[in-house]
Amino acid sequence: MEAKQIMFAIFAIVIVVFSVLTVTSRRILRAAVSLLMVLIATAGLYFLLNYQFMAAVQITLYAGGIVVLIIFSILLTSQISHKFERIETKKAIFSALAAIAGAVVVITTILNHSFSADTVAAAEIDMHVIGRSLLETGPDGYVLPFEVISVLLVAAMIGAIVIAKKGSPHKDEPAK
């Protein structure tokens, strides 16, 4: 076995185990930490695929940003020591059945399909290429989605502030 395969196996195991822990852990902070592990392992996969920039973004934005945000909100709304009640068996079984059925359908489809790779030589993806593509207006440029996403982010930021502040019945409570 090559080193890469071993690495993939490790990442795959980490992702599967911690994904399941994320959705089943009865302590909310542990679930959040499991999510963090999944996200970091995903970043590892990106390294395996040789997308270093995306891996970095994954770690800083997802692991660093979103998970911290989630942990903050957990601290604001829940008690750390609180354990969730057990899920109703019926509900768990039906949900699991739906999830497994979906997974089976998708996986059989994937395995039955033969993917044909593009013959073009792999492009070197370094920071210069990414930066230029993001701001280019030509056929390979992504300036329009870039602009749209920036407007979206501004809107989301404003929206989040407005929603979190407006109509607060507890004025004395510090706003996030």
Site for another protein in 65-124 (CB under 8 A): 65-66, 69-70, 72-74, 76-78, 84-85, 87, 91-92, 94-96, 98-103, 105-107, 109-111, 115-118, 120-123
Least gap, CB of 29 to another protein (angstroms): 10
| CA separation for the pair 173, 77 (Å, rounded) | 12
Residue 19 near another protein by CB under 8 A: yes
Q: How far is the CB of 155 from another protein (least distance, A)?
A: 8
Residues 24-43 that bind another protein (CB under 8 A): 24, 28, 31-32, 35, 38-39, 42
How far apart are CB 18 and another protein at their closest, in Å?
10
Tell which one of 80, 127, 130, 135 touches another protein (CB under 8 A). 130
Interactions with another protein, residue window 134-173 (CB under 8 A): 134, 140, 142, 145, 149, 152-153, 155-157, 159-161, 163-164, 166-170, 173
